[in-house]
Chains A and B, each alone.
Chain A
Amino acid sequence: MLPQEVNSIEEKMISPEKAEEAKLKARYPNLGNKPGGSDLLRKRLQKGQKYFDSGDYNMAKAKIKNKQLPTAAPEKTEITGDHIPTPQDLPQRKPSLVASKLAG
């Protein structure tokens, strides 16, 4: 048996955790050069999808809305233009989010 093989078998017997660490370091040699904690922590603190600006955000939302409510446009053209709309005239705002399936 080669010396490396003997070593790795000994390590597995010592700690499965260390064996897993060795596996990880073999795949990602640059891992752990900085203290692993702070990188992960900073990633955790910054959680949340970031957009370039509010315009970017609204464009992204509009893309989703277009898929879900394709019939919104024709209703609007009926109401506007002829007269000043009153609150009773405007179509009911559709709830943008569906009810939970747990309540079904």
Chain B
Amino acid sequence: MSCAGPGGGSNDVQWCFSQVKGAIDDDVAEADIISTVEFNQSGELLATGDKGGRVVIFQQEQESKNKPQCRGEYNVYSTFQSHEPEFDYLKSLEIEEKINKIRWLPQKNAAHFLLSTNDKTIKLWKISERDKRPEGYNLKEEDGRYVDPNTVTALRVPVFRPMDLMVEASPRRVFANAHTYHINSISVNSDCETYLSADDLRVNLWHLEITDRSFNIVDIKPANMEDLTEVITAAEFHPNQCNTFVYSSSKGTIRMCDMRAAALCDKHAKLFEEPEDPNNRSFFSEIISSISDVKFSHSGRYLMTRDYLSVKIWDLNMETRPVETYQVHEYLRSKLCSLYENDCIFDKFECCWNGNDSVVMTGSYNNFFRMFDRGYQQDVTLEASRENSKPRSVLKPRKVSTGGKRKKDEISVDSLDFNKKILHTAWHPLDNIIAVATTNNLYIFQEKLN
């Protein structure tokens, strides 16, 4: 069993290219744009969702004695069409099939379950293996055609024979019609019985077995829509306190709610907000403070939020300000005007923790992604590109030059490709293996082992 290393900072861990999935050509079809990436709780399975409503699940192959120096590769395990485009007849609006989020359920038996959601509907999928099939029916031929009963002269007992492994995905539940606005988050509760779904203005609580009923637990819709000042951007259940969840807003605040306090959790139990310096306020302040992702640490002690320029770590016991703040790409602060004009300022970056909460990771532009080692207070910028895709080649740290003089190997801010954004990243829950999604490719990097 491999154990998680201490961290991902530049001193400790060296990252190597392992695999890349997806087409090489530059002409990217809309449907192929990756919209979510998620490891399951053991890290054996890695799921991706895309704009075309499809889910692809990769499975890590068993570690072989032949190649002890690298951990198993991820190969396609199952792929299916999760959501299809729909039309809302009442509002004459098209409902996109894009998969916004995938969340795995903790495994309870041989089958795997995951929740996938688009803007309006959440589905529970069962992924199961079939490696034997019954043969020797009396009334059916092998190809399925029915036999004329009059021709049967003897009876036999059908037996199970091994067959090539078949992985089947079947929709077990469809949770529909509970959201007027667009779903941005789903989160499975630690009780493994319920989950929440959040849209721009409401958070709903579901029971995994019940599809025709959902409880509304947060509603921030104002009586008059003209008074609307903020929307919900993300929500997540606490990893081990089944009564606690948080939701973040477009104004940069996080509210923690306790479901034991009341049926409707409009009144927060805690409000995490960093005071703003009124002198620094600008037209962009609110936009760049909007939280695009919120993630509890595995321990449940900390909360991480991602806004446009930074990653913040909050201690659940301190609401007044974050305990750590990491600048992802501060050099963009002097480019906000053009980033507003090309809409990049509204890009929603996600963030993730490593298995022991010592390192956090998030994406940036130019296919760069950043890791911040909390313990060693080090950070590194790496790039996901086909140019660094020789097997087991070590990734070289990248640097963006901000001043006038550009050193060799540095890239200037004006040369950054803002169409190459890394919005979705995931870290294996136990090992130093990361999945990084560029627009239409999935990169898997592993820690260099000796």
Taking beta carbons and an 8 Å cutoff, which residues of A are in contact with B? 15-21, 23-25, 27, 31-32, 35-38, 40-42, 44-45, 47-54, 56-57, 95, 97-104
Interface residue? B23 (CB, 8 A): yes
- Contact between B119 and A97 (Cβ–Cβ < 8 Å)? no
Excluding A37-B251, A50-B92, 20 further A-B contacts by CB distance (< 8 Å) are A16-B336, A17-B282, A17-B336, A20-B282, A20-B336, A21-B284, A24-B341, A27-B337, A36-B287, A37-B229, A37-B250, A41-B228, A41-B231, A48-B94, A54-B87, A95-B81, A100-B31, A100-B50, A100-B54, A104-B23
Q: Cα distance A104–B24 when bound, in Å? A: 11
- In the assembled complex, the CB of B228 is this many whole angstroms from the nearest CB of chain A, namely 6
Contact in complex: A57, B250 (CB < 8 Å): no
Q: How far is the CA of A17 from the CA of B54 in the complex (A)?
A: 40
Check if A48 sits within 8 Å of B93, measured CB to CB: yes
> Dominant SS at the A interface?
helix
Q: Is the CB of A25 within 8 A of B283?
A: yes
**Which residues of the other chain, A, contact B181 by a CB distance below 8 angstroms?**
45
Residue of A nearest to B334 (CB): A16
B256 at the interface (CB under 8 A from A): no
Contact between A20 and B32, CB atoms less than 8 A apart: no
> Which residues of chain A come closer than 8 Å to B333, judged between CB atoms?
16-17, 20
User: Nearest Cβ in chain B — how far from A74, in angstroms?
Assistant: 27
Residue among B31, B94, B250, B440 making CB contact with A97, cutoff 8 Å: B31
| B92 adjacent to A38 (CB under 8 Å) | no
The complex places the Cα of A69 from the Cα of B53 at a distance, in Å, of: 20
User: Residue B412 at the A interface, CB < 8 A?
Assistant: no
Pick the contact of B230 from A31, A37, A56, A104 — CB < 8 Å? A37
Q: Out of A19, A47, A57, A104, which one reaches B87, CB within 8 Å?
A: A57
Question: Can you list 26 residue pairs at the A/B interface with Cβ under 8 Å?
Answer: A16-B336, A20-B282, A20-B284, A20-B337, A21-B282, A21-B284, A24-B340, A36-B286, A36-B287, A37-B250, A37-B286, A40-B287, A42-B228, A45-B182, A45-B200, A48-B93, A48-B96, A48-B182, A50-B92, A51-B92, A54-B87, A95-B81, A97-B54, A102-B79, A103-B76, A103-B79
**Residues of B91-145 whose CB lies within 8 A of A:** 91-96, 119
B340 contacts which chain A residues (CB < 8 A)? 24
**Complex alpha-carbon distance, A102 and B19, angstroms:** 12
Question: Within 8 Å CB of B286, what residues of A?
Answer: 36-37
A101 to chain B: closest CB distance in Å?
Answer: 4
Q: How far is the CA of A27 from the CA of B341 in the complex (A)?
A: 10
Q: Is the CB of B93 within 8 A of A49?
A: yes
Separation of A27 and B440 alpha carbons in the complex (Å): 34
List residues 178-203 of chain B with CB under 8 A from any CB of chain A: 181-182, 200-201
* Majority secondary structure of chain B interface residues (helix, strand, loop or mixed): mixed
How far apart are the CA atoms of A38 and B230 in the complex, in Å? 8
Expressed in whole angstroms, the Cα–Cα distance for A97 and B82 within the complex equals 11
Given the known interface contacts A31-B283, A47-B182, the answer about A97 and B84 at a Cβ–Cβ threshold of 8 Å is yes
A92–B337 alpha-carbon span in the complex (Å): 53
Chain B's closest residue to A48 (CB) is B93
Closest residue of A by beta carbon distance from B77: A103
Q: Within the complex, what minimum Cβ distance (angstroms) separates A19 from chain B?
A: 7
- Our pick among B22, B229, B283, B335 for the contact of A38 (Cβ within 8 Å) is B229
B229 and A41 contacting across the interface, CB-CB below 8 Å: yes
Chain A residues with Cβ below 8 Å from B76 are 102-103
Contact partners of A42 in chain B: CB under 8 A: 225, 228
State the Cβ distance, A1 to closest chain B Cβ, in Å.
21
Of B48, B251, B335, B336, which one neighbours A102 at CB under 8 angstroms?
B48
A4 to B56, CA, bound (A): 58
- When chains A and B are docked, how far (Å) is the Cα of A52 from the Cα of B336? 35
CA distance A50 to B87 in the complex (A): 10
Nearest chain A CB to B13 CB, angstrom units: 26
Whole-angstrom distance between the alpha carbons of A54 and B92 in the complex? 6
For A16, the chain B residues whose CB sits under 8 A away are 333-334, 336
The answer for the CA separation of A15 and B440 in the assembled complex, in Å, is 36
Residue of A nearest to B199 (CB): A45
Contact B32 A54 (CB under 8 A): no
Q: Give the docked Cα–Cα distance between A98 and B94 (Å).
A: 20
Known: A16-B333, A101-B23. A57 touches B284 (CB 8 A): no
Q: Does B2 reach chain A (CB closer than 8 Å)?
A: no
A97, B230: Cα distance in complex, Å = 37
A100 contact from B79, B250, B336, Cβ within 8 A: B79
| Chain B residue contacts of A32, Cβ below 8 A | 283
